[in-house]
Amino acid sequence: MSKVRIGVAGLGGIFYGWGGDSGHLPAYPRLDEAKICALCDVSQDNLDKAAFWFKRVYEEEAQRREAAGDFRRAEELRADADSVRLYKDYSEMLETEHLDLVDIITPVKLHKPMTIQALDKGINVMCEKPMARTWLEAMEMAEAVKRSGKVFQYAENFIYSISWYNLRKFLVSGIIGEPIAILLPLAIGEPGALTASYWDPTVAGGGSLLDMSIHGITATWFLLGFDSKPVRVKSAEPDGIGIKMPERIVDGKYRTVKAEDEAHFLVEFERPNGWTTVFLEGSWSYRDSVASSVIIGTKGSIEFGAPDKMTLVDHHGHRTEIPYWSPGFLHRMPWLESDGFFGELRNIVTCIVENTKSECDERVGAESMAIAGAAYLSEMLGRKVVSLDEFKEYALQIQEKEGDRASDVLIRELTQFGGAK
Ligand SMILES: NC(=O)c1ccc[n+]([C@@H]2O[C@H](COP(=O)([O-])OP(=O)(O)OC[C@H]3O[C@@H](n4cnc5c(N)ncnc54)[C@H](O)[C@@H]3O)[C@@H](O)[C@H]2O)c1
């Protein structure tokens, strides 16, 4: 196959990332098997800015390749930077370009329509997290994947990072015995992009749970193996899911926000031969649960809060620090970096070249949405234990009653937190 032809939709915050190896743009010029043909954003300012940075990032990579003696790729990169086309209209991009893949990094509300439109045109899709606003929307996307026979990758970048890759390696080795529990607090002070859309559940589907914990849901499931089955969910005492500080500066002004800024919940996964409880926090009001990310096993544990290393604690309490990039041990692999953005793009490009499915496919994305939905429902029902089946039945009943409005109704019902606690 010739190069995988990619179009990008949405040129905001995560197009650039937050430095280090985060973001989609820094990964593109390193995808030797692909070519970014087109960039699309409704905002002319964002398009112009992206065009400027696209050229700069490609030129920097071209210079690196030249320094390494790879003159052919350097030339190719400069040609790609010159030929990239800009679109304000997504449909026009899909009509005009002969794309193999669209990279969807727009606000969450657009994930479903953009994904379905691309798949129905026979174009493969990678879609940012969360997969959609609701499980119902994710299921519609999954149907479109089936109908099209195309590859869909749910873009959970964690699982393509060096740390999660190595954590799974250790877990599978059995070094800590059976995993009994995983604790993963993910908390920051505010959403990553300080845009109103993050605080608007009608656009984002929810608040900090869908922004932060959604990473934790999929990534801990990955650790346990995607053949594990998420079974039941419970909003956890004492803080559950809700709004801690409703007056936030959004778009330059204090406003009363409607989305949750803290979420604490338990998920039970049935493994092929046992079960594991996962405790997740996803907050935009700083962490207020357990201090460290840890996997607790029957004969040891792995602490993994630090960005560069994990600490293995054996059954005698001995602590061994293991750097993720220890030379000659956990071999350095250039496509596995700390944030996983290059890894996820390389993975979907390879799937397209080899015509194989991604492990992080529509089933994983949609089921992750069901777990999130069950957590909201648990909070709504007074922190009752909710099985995934119960949540799905509840959502399907709303769908039957409300038709096309079902997701909006579901979001409204599940995100009524009634102000600060
Ligand atoms: N994987 C991660 O760690 C990570 C981090 C941040 C954001 N994200 C996800 O990426 C997505 C985008 O987040 P963001 O922070 O970049 O948001 P953002 O608001 O900064 O950027 C979104 C961009 O989409 C553009 N857009 C809106 N409507 C459009 C349309 N119809 N056609 C084309 N472009 C359109 C906007 O103009 C904007 O430039 C979200 O789903 C978010 O959850 C993932």
Per residue of the chain (421 residues), give pLDDT as tens: 689 999 999 999 999 998 888 999 999 999 999 999 999 999 999 999 999 999 999 999 999 999 999 999 999 999 999 999 999 999 999 999 999 999 999 999 999 999 999 999 999 999 999 999 999 999 999 999 999 999 999 999 999 998 999 999 999 999 999 999 999 999 999 887 667 889 999 999 999 999 999 999 999 999 999 999 999 999 999 999 999 999 999 988 899 998 999 999 999 999 999 999 999 999 999 898 887 899 999 999 999 988 889 999 998 999 999 888 765 555 556 667 789 999 999 999 999 999 999 999 999 999 999 999 999 999 999 999 999 999 999 999 999 999 999 999 999 999 987 544 4
Cβ(107) – ligand 1 distance below 6 Å = yes
Cβ(157) – ligand 1 distance below 6 Å = yes
* CATH classification code of 4-157+340-360: 3.40.50.720
The reported pTM is: 0.96
Alpha carbon of 108 to ligand 1 centroid (Å): 7
The DSSP symbol for 388 reads H
CB atoms within 10 A of CB 315: 12
Which residues 6+ apart lie within 8 Å of 61 measured at CB?
Answer: 29, 30, 77
The continuous run of DSSP H or E covering 256 comes out as: strand 253-256
Tokens for 269?
């996964």
The continuous run of DSSP H or E covering 153 comes out as: strand 152-155
Alpha carbon of 216 to ligand 1 centroid (Å): 20
Cβ(214) – ligand 1 distance below 6 Å = no
Distance CA 214, CA 234 (A): 15
Distance CA 47, CA 50 (A): 5
Which residues 6+ apart lie within 8 Å of 350 measured at CB?
Answer: 33, 356
Domain over 158-337+361-421 is classified CATH 3.30.360.10: yes
Task: Report the residue among 48, 88, 93, 105 best suited for mutation to probe ligand 1: largest number of ligand atoms under 8 A from its CB.
Answer: 105
How far is C-alpha 342 from the geometric centre of its chain's CA atoms? Answer: 13
DSSP state letters, 277-295? EEEEEEESS---S-SS-EE
Cβ(14) – ligand 1 distance below 6 Å = yes
Distance CA 328, CA 203 (A): 46
The continuous run of DSSP H or E covering 141 comes out as: helix 135-148
Residues 234 and 378 sit within 8 Å (Cβ to Cβ): yes
Ligand 1 atom, smallest distance to 341 CA: 1
Tokens for 82?
């010159």
Q: Which long-range contacts does 319-324 make (Cβ < 8 Å, 24+ apart)?
A: 322/166, 324/162, 324/163, 324/166
Q: Where are the domains of the chain?
A: 4-157+340-360, 158-337+361-421
Q: How many residues does the chain have?
A: 421
User: Which candidate, 184, 201, 216, places its Cα nearest to that of 261?
Assistant: 201
Cβ(218) – ligand 1 distance below 6 Å = no
The continuous run of DSSP H or E covering 5 comes out as: strand 4-9
Q: Is 359 exposed, middle or buried (0-12, 13-18, 19+ CB in 10 A)?
A: middle
- Ramachandran quadrant class, 302 (left: phi over 0; alpha: psi -120 to 50; beta: rest): beta
Tokens for 28?
């593109």
Distance CA 301, CA 46 (A): 45
Tokens for 225?
């193996």
CA torsion, ordered 38, 41, 44, 47, to nearest 10 deg: -50
